[in-house]
Amino acid sequence: MGLGRQQIVFGVGNPNADLMFVGEAPGADEDIKGEPFVGRAGQLLTKIIEAIDMRREDVYIANLIKCRPPQNRNPEPDEVEQCEPFLLRQIDMIKPKVIVALGKFAAQALLRTTEPITKIRGREFTYRDAILIPTYHPAYLLRTPSAKRDVWEDMKRVRAILTGE
Ligand code: URA
């Protein structure tokens, strides 16, 4: 088995979405299917979306990194630098009202910060024309179910912003 990826995993969903999720990078399942968040973490993300009474098809889902890193290692700074312009173009085309950054890599890259995710989650940021909400990555929730409560709080905030409450 080679280290290489099968394909670029660009994004999926509604191009007119008000809500956009940005993850880290494709894993093995995503690399095979060519779609972000289709493995275990993706199934949890789908449930998180449904928890605020939306469907996966209503939102747009993309990753910071468009190609699966070998052995699912963390993205390298030069990979972030290479891929970020594609993500920014996606954000500019979709023009979401709310962007949920899933996990440290997406949140730190978009916000240009090195602050840990534990410090930036629970807050909201203005990002281009959107509100950016950093939260924990669903893969982290699979390992740390106790963190689901915080993500639920973040998602309730997302719902309130989208419904204008
Ligand atoms: N984790 C991510 O960050 N993105 C995916 O597409 C799948 C798992």
What are 142-162's pLDDT values in tens digits? 999 999 999 999 999 999 999
Pocket test for ligand 1, best of 5, 9, 10, 30 (most atoms within 8 A of CB): 30
Amino acid, res. 122: G
pLDDT in tens, 50-94: 999 999 999 999 999 999 999 889 999 999 999 999 999 999 999
Q: Please state, in angstroms and rounded to a whole number, the distance separating the CA atoms of residues 92 and 56.
A: 20
> In the prediction, which pLDDT does 54 show?
97
pLDDT in tens, 13-31: 999 999 999 999 999 999 9
Q: Is the pLDDT of residue 2 over 60?
A: no
Answer for the pair 26, 64: CB distance below 8 angstroms, yes or no: no
**Ligand 1 midpoint to CA 163 (Å):** 27
**Ligand 1 midpoint to CA 106 (Å):** 11
Of ligand 1's listed atoms, the one at least distance from the Cα of 61 is: 6
Answer for the pair 117, 133: CB distance below 8 angstroms, yes or no: no
**Ligand 1 midpoint to CA 148 (Å):** 17
Q: Please state, in angstroms and rounded to a whole number, the distance separating the CA atoms of residues 86 and 125.
A: 21
Domains and CATH numbers, the chain: 11-159 (3.40.470.10)
> In the prediction, which pLDDT does 3 show?
63
Mean pLDDT of the chain: 95
Of ligand 1's listed atoms, the one at least distance from the Cα of 9 is: 6
**Ligand 1 midpoint to CA 129 (Å):** 24
- Give the helix ranges, DSSP H, for the chain: 28-33, 40-51, 77-94, 104-111, 117-120, 138-143, 148-163
**CB-defined site of ligand 1, < 6 Å:** 23-27, 30, 36-37, 39, 41-42, 63, 139
Q: Whose CA is nearest to atom 7 of ligand 1?
A: 37
What pTM does this model have? 0.96
